[in-house]
Homo-oligomer: A and B are copies of this chain.
């Protein structure tokens, strides 16, 4: 089954202790799409300027990513972000953010997208996330991400959204900030009470937690020698997670969600081995499965 993603498409300029990359293709929806399309047809909704080359779109299409939902604003410029990481990869400094065409973005779903059964609302204004849901027919499974900005400025819309999604995929700081709970157990309970059946909390190098009404699962991060560039790890996690669920045709059952978390973690572990989407562009689902097998060993006692 197909998965639909709505989010940012960007050119990123990134400095890490291991090197620099300029105007690298990025953005939450791009990372998600490259990850999810390993497993299932992927439908991309986003906005770009006329500086976004046809070759980028072609490359997405070749990967099985449907780009009919990518709006091109003639004369506009694509969203640009630049940032710097130190060795502590949780510590990211944003150097500049140029929203450009992204600042006036209102997602418009192509008619053919409306019946998508799996939907991921990547980090955009929760009012826009709600607009997307209003355009959907009857999605089977909806997941969303967010960020500190919306927790601070659009809390009501975000809480309204959470009443309409099945799964939240937040990082640790977001889960804590939104719920006001330091304990992840309490934060997850609070998110359940807002209406989300499953809560995924991403902790970067410390792995990922899953809370469902049936139980708790903790996945470690894959033990890499070095994280080359952590940009997009969270979004490609989400892509692997949702892509796996869509491939399986799964709902929010505990067993499928656990495996989806591991598939997401495995995909993210490839993403961070290179700048941008360079690494996840070249891997196959068999590469991911081999890493999932390694997780089995890493978690067993």
Taking Cβ atoms with an 8 Å cutoff, the residues of A that contact B are 87-88, 182-186, 203, 206-207, 209, 215-221, 223-227, 255, 258-259, 261-262, 295-301
Contacts and interface: CB of A to CB of B under 8 A. Distances in A.
B299 A185 contact: no
B183 A225 contact: yes
A259 B184 contact: no
14 contacts: A87-B182, A185-B224, A185-B225, A186-B225, A203-B206, A207-B220, A216-B298, A217-B298, A217-B301, A218-B298, A259-B301, A261-B301, A295-B301, A296-B301
A301 B185 contact: no
Residue with the highest number of chain B CB atoms closer than 10 Å, among A186, A218, A227: A218
A184 B223 contact: yes
Nearest to A204: B206
Given A261-B301, A300-B299, A301-B258, A88 B182 contact: yes
A258 B87 CA distance: 29
Contact of A216 (B185, B215, B223, B259): B223
Given A206-B207, A207-B218, A223 B185 contact: yes
Report copies per complex. 2
A92 B217 CA distance: 28
B299 A301 contact: yes
A184 B300 CA distance: 19
Nearest to A296: B301
Residue with the highest number of chain B CB atoms closer than 10 Å, among A87, A216, A220, A227: A220
A85 to B, nearest CB: 11
A299 to B, nearest CB: 5
Contacts of A259: 301
Contacts of A209: 220, 223
Contacts of A295: 301
A20 to B, nearest CB: 19
B203 A301 contact: no
A33 to B, nearest CB: 25
Contacts of A297: 215-216
Nearest to A214: B297
A225 B184 CA distance: 8
Nearest to A88: B182
A299 B183 contact: no
Report the 10 A-B pairs with minimum CB-CB distance, sorted nearest first.
Answer: A218-B220, A258-B301, A206-B206, A87-B182, A299-B299, A185-B225, A185-B223, A216-B223, A262-B301, A218-B298
A209 B262 CA distance: 17
B300 A258 contact: yes
